[in-house]
């Protein structure tokens, strides 16, 4: 059970990081080209910085999980990031959810449950 909690927290951290990246980039604006001004804006954006920190935490937890379980057990849980981002996009970013998105998310969860019990 501890390993599943470790994996879920890893995927949750990665998902929150993605949401923070989006918030940070929305504050910067659409990137037309990569130049020193754009790189500086990205590097000094607090949302992106916190997101990067969460990504590091996510990777550390992921390595813990990989060190304890087989890859074919651990890897399907990466699908949780799709679910977490899908839900956070709606609740935090105010993005719309489609019927197809709900169906696809349900299929992903079903697949993760089936694979985790194999």
Q: CA-CA distance, 72 to 74, in Å (whole number)?
A: 6
| Six-digit token string for 69 | 């379980």
Q: CA-CA distance, 72 to 11, in Å (whole number)?
A: 16
Res 118 pLDDT > 80:
no
User: How much is the pLDDT for 24?
Assistant: 97
Domain enclosing residue 81, as ranges = 2-116
Q: Based on the structure, what is the number of domains in the chain?
A: 1
pTM of the shown model: 0.88
Determine contact, residues 16/89, Cβ cutoff 8 Å: no
Q: Largest Cα–Cα distance in the chain?
A: 50
Mean pLDDT calculated for residue range 60-80? 93
User: How much is the pLDDT for 117?
Assistant: 74
């Amino acid at each position: 059970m501890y390993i599943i909690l470790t994996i879920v927290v890893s995927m949750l951290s990665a998902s929150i990081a993605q949401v923070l990246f989006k918030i940070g980039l929305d504050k910067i604006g659409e990137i037309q080209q990569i130049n020193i001004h754009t790189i500086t804006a990205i590097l000094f954006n607090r949302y992106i910085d916190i997101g990067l920190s969460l990504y590091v935490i996510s990777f550390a937890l992921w390595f813990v999980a990989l060190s304890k379980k087989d890859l074919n057990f651990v890897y399907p849980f990466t699908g949780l990031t799709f679910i977490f981002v899908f839900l956070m996009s709606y609740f935090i970013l105010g993005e719309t959810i489609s019927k197809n998105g709900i169906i696809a998310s349900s299929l992903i969860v079903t697949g993760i449950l089936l694979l985790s019990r194999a």
